[in-house]
Amino acid sequence: PISIQKPRDGLLAMKYTVLDLPLTQLPHQHSSLVSRNTLTVVGGKFKSRGQLSKFTWTELSLKWENGSKFSPNFAHACSVKLGVDVHVILGGERTVDGQQISGKGVVKINTTEEKVYALNPITHSRVSHDCELLNKSVVLVSGGLAQIGEDPSAVLKDELYNITGSGEVVKVLDLEHSL
């Protein structure tokens, strides 16, 4: 990867640094989580768990709230930022017994504590979708397909997801009211 020293100074005579990427799982099709001046990459094709801070990449040791190791087995998911260091990742494609399947899973990640919390699933398994935090407690999960490679006209209904507590679907919108 390349790090641009002062990106706002313009393109002429831009100074950059080529960074060493010591991660054992390279980021590709991952979720990017930004907290303060830190970039965290989680999941994707190679189940990445890395963090870039002050031009240095380090491996993350993400653990479930009970202390067991967390393996970020998702790609093509969406994420929202709840707080400075707290993010929620919804849906995405997972590999189960060598098969790619779309998922309903929802996890909350605290990048400072390096802890992961399981929340209740969304209604529809979906990939290549998007999500947006509407207020302090509700996320709009919009679009996407039930599986990668499906007919693009088979877009799923949007749903509203409450991220407070253990999480739950508030409402699945009718297709005519979905984005």
Mapped onto helix, strand or coil, the DSSP state of residue 61 is: coil
Write down the pLDDT at residue 37.
77
Strands 2-4 and 130-133, by their bridges, are unpaired
Q: How many other CB atoms are found less than 10 A from the CB of residue 122? A: 24
Pairing of strands 63-64, 56-59: unpaired
pLDDT at 139: 94
pLDDT at 117: 94
pTM score:
0.74
The predicted pLDDT at position 15 comes to: 78
The string of DSSP letters for 4-58 reads: ES-GGG-STT--EEEPP---SS--SS-EEEEETTEEEEEETTTTEEEEEETTEEE
- Digit-coded pLDDT (tens) for 51-94: 777 777 777 788 999 999 988 888 889 999 998 899 999 998 88
Q: Which pLDDT score, from 0 to 100, does residue 149 have?
A: 73
Task: Indicate the pairing of strand 159-162 with strand 16-18.
Answer: unpaired
Could you tell me the CA-to-CA distances from 113 to 65, 67, 84, 88 in Å, in that order? 10, 12, 12, 14
Per-residue pLDDT of the chain (179 residues; tens, 9 = 90+): 666 777 777 767 777 776 665 666 666 667 777 787 787 778 777 676 777 777 777 777 889 999 999 888 888 899 999 988 999 999 988 877 878 888 899 999 998 899 999 999 999 999 889 999 999 889 999 988 888 777 777 778 899 999 987 787 888 888 777 77
